[in-house]
Amino acid sequence: MNRAFIAIAVLVGAIGIVAADLGASTRLNPYAAPPLLALGSGLAASGAHCSAPPQ
Amino acid sequence: MTDQSLPLSGRFGLYSLRAGLVLATLLAAFVVAALAGARYGLLLLIGLGFGMALEGFRFGFAGPWRAMILRREPAGILAQLLAIALVAVVAFPLLGNATGELTGAHAPVGFAMIGGAFVFGAAMQVVLGCGSGTLVNAGSGNAVGALALPFFAIGSFLGSLHLGWWTGLGSAPLVVFSGGTGLAITLVALALVAILVIWLGVPGGARLPRRLILAALAIAALALANLVVAGQPWGVVYGLGLWVAKGVQGAGVDLSANPFWAAPGNAERLASSLLTDVTSLTNLGILAGAFLIAAWRRGLSARLPELPVRAWGAVIIAGLLLGYSSRLAFGCNVGAFFSGISTGSLHGWAWFVAAFAGSYYGIRLRPLLGLEARS
């Protein structure tokens, strides 16, 4: 076994997580997506970050 | 080893592989943009850039701290400080002028925060991988990183379940440096740390090689792009915990009773696709970027290390501790140290001191756990 096997297994696992999640989460809608850049969008930042306490 | 050393057929195969890798990554970003929106495709590309820069320039956090503690080599830490300073110079004015659109990595200093950072520092030296480093290692086929990563994610989720109890042990009011004065304080403090590590380092060790200067410039540019596109600084830990939370919820466990996951922002993340979560996208990009560089360099053929069973057990426990402790510390080396300091949060500085102290002990644990030859 070499590093290629491990690296490919990790990537397949990550793709698997995303694929499984696509079926279980809210349907994607690119037309409701926020603007390309948060800066200048006029919208409040809404993403989640590890430094933010739960709110 | 150069490409010219290969016969013509071998070179054709190598170039085809490289072209395929680049096309596949661009296609992935396009698919994400088409499915979820242009911002999310761009965030995947930014993550890809992080992975390529970290792996391509061999830029990290755990390794340079180890080099400073063991061999008094300050260059790696100086490159980290340079990257943080470059981000701060741009991020402070942006955060001051775009209030609401952009947020910093701001968290309070507390008992659990400091203790979490100390444990994270120790655990990251055991696996020789921090938040970003574990992703890079896993993506480039490092078996220790690949084993630590899922347990890092599980630990991050478990930490989120208990975060309220831990923060209840006591926290100081939030302290954020902002504006011109805040930037001056941050830059002076970074300069003082740089002077200290140069003074403690070996003579001549402060000279930064070109590789580290380029790495600092690339990481700083990508961190600023992350801030401008996502509205928040670069982070790692939240996305990993979210992956496990989604799996747990998918298995039928109701997380709505937990204060962390019941909070409106986190509940929304649980319901929404990972392809719209900032840190998930950049984490996926880091994995792919590290893989791309490792494959590009033909560095995936190396055999796996032969470690004793206790070493693999130690990697699992260290992975869990990495995730759990970074959740309590309000971030890892990326979310707390890099992004915290560069956006003015005092907790970034507290994290740095505590994690560096933990690293001192983690380095001494590695040989005892069978992860390297005893010296």
What ipTM did this prediction achieve?
0.96
Write the pLDDT tens digit of every residue in B221-230. 999 999 999 9
Asked if residue B237 has pLDDT above 90, the reply is yes
Across B264-283, average pLDDT: 96
A vs B: CB pairs below 8 A: 207
Contact B250 A24 (CB under 8 A): yes
**Across A51-55, B52-56, B169-173, B265-269, least confident range:** A51-55
| Contact at CB, B278 and A44, closer than 8 angstroms | no
* DSSP code, position A31: G
Contact B278 A38 (CB under 8 A): no
Contacts of A30 in chain B (CB under 8 A): 33-38
Q: How confident is the model at residue B287 (pLDDT cuts 50, 70, 90)?
A: very high
Residue A42 region by backbone torsions, left for phi larger than 0, else alpha for psi between -120 and 50, else beta: left
Comparing A19 with B3, the larger pLDDT belongs to: A19
d(CA B51, CA B86): 19
Give the residue from chain B lying closest to A47, CA to CA: B278
Q: Which region among B122-131, B208-217, B301-310 has the lowest average model confidence (pLDDT)? A: B301-310
Question: Percent of chain B having pLDDT more than 90?
Answer: 89
Q: CA-CA distance, B232 to B276, in Å (whole number)?
A: 14
Tokens 């775009």, residue located: B98
pLDDT band for B1, please (50, 70, 90 cuts): very low
Locate B361 and state its tokens: 């002990």
Q: With cut-offs at 50, 70 and 90, classify the pLDDT of residue B11.
A: confident
Residue B360's pLDDT is: 97
Tell me: pLDDT of B340 over 50: yes
Q: Which of A31, A28, A34 is nearest to B231 (CA)?
A: A34
Pure H helices in chain B: 8-36, 38-56, 62-71, 75-97, 111-127, 131-139, 143-167, 179-200, 210-230, 237-250, 259-262, 264-271, 278-296, 309-328, 339-342, 346-368
How confident is residue B10, by pLDDT bands cut at 50, 70 and 90? confident
Question: How far apart are the CA of A6 and the nearest CA of chain B, in angstroms?
Answer: 5
- CB-nearest partner of A14 from B237, B287, B340: B287
pTM for the model: 0.95
Distances B336 to B64, B106, B293, B349, B353 between C-alpha atoms, Å: 17, 8, 27, 8, 12
Distance between B183 CA and the closest CA of chain A, angstroms: 20
In the predicted model, what is the mean pLDDT of chain B?
95
Contact: B101, A50; criterion CB under 8 Å: no
What's the pLDDT score for residue B375?
Answer: 45
Q: Nearest-CA neighbor of A24 among B281, B247, B160, B253?
A: B247
For A28, which of B149, B273, B304 is closest by C-beta distance?
Answer: B273
The confidence score (pLDDT) of residue B5 equals 66
Q: Mutation target for A interface from B21, B35, B43, B352: give the one with most A CBs within 10 A.
A: B35
Do the Cβ atoms of A14 and B284 come closer than 8 Å? Answer: yes
Give the model's pLDDT for residue B3.
56
Q: Is there a contact between B98 and A39 (Cβ–Cβ < 8 Å)? A: yes
Least confident of A16-20, B196-200, B298-302: B298-302
Q: How many CA atoms lie within 13 A of B79 on its CB side?
A: 29
B300 compared with B118, residue with greater pLDDT: B118
pLDDT of residue B207: 93
Of B5-9, B132-136, B223-227, B250-254, the least confident: B5-9
